[in-house]
Amino acid sequence: MSEPSLSRLLAAAAALLLRPPDASVLTALAESSGINLDLGPARQDFYDVLCVPQSGRYIPSYAHVLAQGRVRDGGWWHFPPPRFDGGDALAPWYEAVGFEPMRLNVDPMLKGPHRPLDQAGFMLAYLAGLVASRETDKTDGATADAIIAAFLAEHVGAWLERFCELLGGSGSRYLQAVGEAVEEVAQAVRSCYPAAIPEAASLTVPCVSSSRSDR
C-alpha cells in the first residue's frame, strides 16, 4: 500500500482537531502505534480540552492566543481570551483560494459566526488544500511552492509546537497522540516547503478543488 500524500496527512491532522474521534480513528491509531483506547473517554477528552473553556482542562487552539501565552509561577500557562478578529490576518489568504472554514466538517461546538480564523485545525485544512493543488499540478509549481512557504513562515510559528506540547501534557493519551500527529505533519510540510520567497505574499493560487477536511 502506498504512503498517504502530504495533503492527506494534513487533512487528517486537521480533522483530529476539528471533530471528536470515532471508532475508525481509534482503529487507525491502534494499527499505527499499538495504542488501544476506549472511545467514550477519548471523545470526552476532545470536548473537555479543545471545546469547553470552563472544563478546567481547556487548551486554546487559536494561534493568536497561543502566541501570547505566558508561564506563571508554579509552571501554569496563562492565555488571554480569544478575540473574534484575532485571526483576521488570514482572511486574504483564505479568500484568495475560496477557503471557507465554516464549510468544513467541524463539530458544532467549534462552529460559529465569530470563530477566529486562526484555529489550528482550520489552518491545517487550508494548507491541505494548497498542498493538494500543488500535488495535482492544478497550480504552477513555483508559485504554489512560494505561497505555501510564505504562509508557513508568516503564520505557522512556534505557537504550533507549544500547542502540541500542551496536548502532550493534557493528561489524555488520545490527545497526546493527536499532538504527536500534528507536530509530525507540521515538520513534514516545513521540510517540503522550507524557504519563503519575499514576494510570495502578494501571489494567489487558483481555488482548490475542495475545502473539506476529510479523515
The string of pLDDT tens digits covering residues 49-70 is 999 999 999 999 999 999 998 8
* pLDDT tens readout for residues 161-188: 999 999 999 999 999 999 999 999 999 9
CA-to-CA dists, residue 34 to 125, 155, 164, angstroms: 27, 34, 20
What is the CATH number assigned to the segment(s) 6-19+57-106+115-202?
A: 1.10.3480
pLDDT, position 74: 72
CA-to-CA distance for 87 and 95, rounded, in angstroms? Answer: 13
pLDDT, position 161: 95
Q: If we measure between CA atoms, which residue out of 133, 203, 202, 188 comes closest to residue 156?
A: 188
* pLDDT tens readout for residues 18-41: 999 999 999 999 988 888 999 999
CA-to-CA distance for 131 and 189, rounded, in angstroms? Answer: 9
pLDDT at 143 over 60: yes
pLDDT, position 27: 95
pLDDT, position 115: 87
Catalogue the E-assigned strands of the chain: 70-71, 77-78
Helix (H, G, I), strand (E, B) or coil at 111: coil
pLDDT at 201 over 50: no
Classify residue 46 by burial, with Cβ atoms within 10 Å: 0-12, 13-18, 19+: buried
Residue type, 136: T
Q: For the chain, what is the total number of helices (H) and then of strands (E)?
A: 9, 2
pLDDT, position 111: 86
pLDDT, position 73: 72
pLDDT, position 195: 62
